Amino acid sequence: MRTHPITYLHDVTEKRREPHWHQLTFATRGHLEVITEDARRLVPSDRAVWIPAGVAHTAVMRAPVSMRSIFVAAGVRSSSNQLRTIAVTPLLRELILHITRIGALDRRRPDQARLAAVLLDLLAAAQEVRLDLPSPRDPRAQRFADMVTRNPADAGSNAALARKAGASLRTIERFFLAETGVAVGEWRRRVRLFHALGLLESGASVTDVAFDCGYASVSAFSQAFSRQFGHSPSRRPRA
């Protein structure tokens, strides 16, 4: 195992690549997005993403962001052959930080081999958290999705956006359910909340973010945010 701790003070987009190693990336501050052919996955602070070897992806780091990455040789037993966003328990958090402070693990050393084994066991048992935006394939549904992601706070109705995309709302709804498994309204809600997370991490107030993201009240925004991320928008992650 080898590690790569890094902090970015400005947004960075990595080129699309197909890694030869498994990769575990944990955001201690800020968040990143992992984009594959079928979805955009959000990885907020105190969450981690497991990217198996061979999964082509683009990573977008939303600054300020501090990440701790651990790379595992493809031949080593892995927790999953699927890309997963996972909850990070206190034990897993401390183990990731400890391993990245070491810099690399030599499995020929018994103490470091034990650390690697515990890490893989914790990853296998980690709870998956669904923070993804599956991508529709139909061109009209894609145009609808692009309009929503370009302007998450747009107050326009779904029907109006569907017309701009060149289809009826019923057609767009059918394609979203068939191709993403997510209803249009829920998909749009996730976009707004993912956008809100970035604004909060940049230092914006909860009140400003609520209205910037199109919510009618701070309480409605706070409830939606808490349901999505498991904590209130006023909570600041640990450094």
Per-domain boundaries in the chain: 2-125, 136-229
What does pLDDT average to in each consecutive run of 10 residues of the chain (239 residues)?
92 88 92 90 90 93 90 78 91 96 94 95 91 93 94 90 96 96 94 90 90 91 91 71
Q: According to CATH, what is the number of the domain 136-229?
A: 1.10.10.60
Tell me which amino acid residue 77 is.
Answer: R
- Which residues on neighbouring strands pair with residue 65, listed in sequence order? 8
- φ, ψ dihedrals at 145, nearest 5°: -60, -40
Q: How confident is the model at residue 127, as a pLDDT? A: 92
- φ, ψ dihedrals at 229, nearest 5°: -110, -10
Q: Is the whole model's pTM more than 0.95, yes or no? A: no
Q: How confident is the model at residue 105, as a pLDDT? A: 94
Widest distance between CA atoms in the chain: 63
- In SS3 terms, the chain reads as CEEEEEEECCCEECCCECCCEEEEEEEEEEEEEEECCCEEEEECCCEEEEECCCCCEEEEEEEEEEEEEEEEECCCCCCCCCCEEEECCHHHHHHHHHHHHHCECCCCCHHHHHHHHHHHHHHHHCCECCCEEECCCCHHHHHHHHHHHHCCCCCCCHHHHHHHHCCCHHHHHHHHHHHHCCCHHHHHHHHHHHHHHHHHHCCCCHHHHHHHCCCCCHHHHHHHHHHHHCCCCCCCCCC
Q: How confident is the model at residue 202, as a pLDDT? A: 79
157 CB-contact burial (10 Å; exposed 0-12 / middle 13-18 / buried 19+) = exposed
Nearest residue to 64 (alpha-carbon basis) of 120, 107, 21, 8: 8
Q: How confident is the model at residue 214, as a pLDDT? A: 85
Q: According to CATH, what is the number of the domain 2-125?
A: 2.60.120.280
Q: How confident is the model at residue 4, as a pLDDT? A: 93
Q: How far apart are CA 219 and CA 235, in angstroms?
A: 15
Residue matched to tokens 């929503």: 148
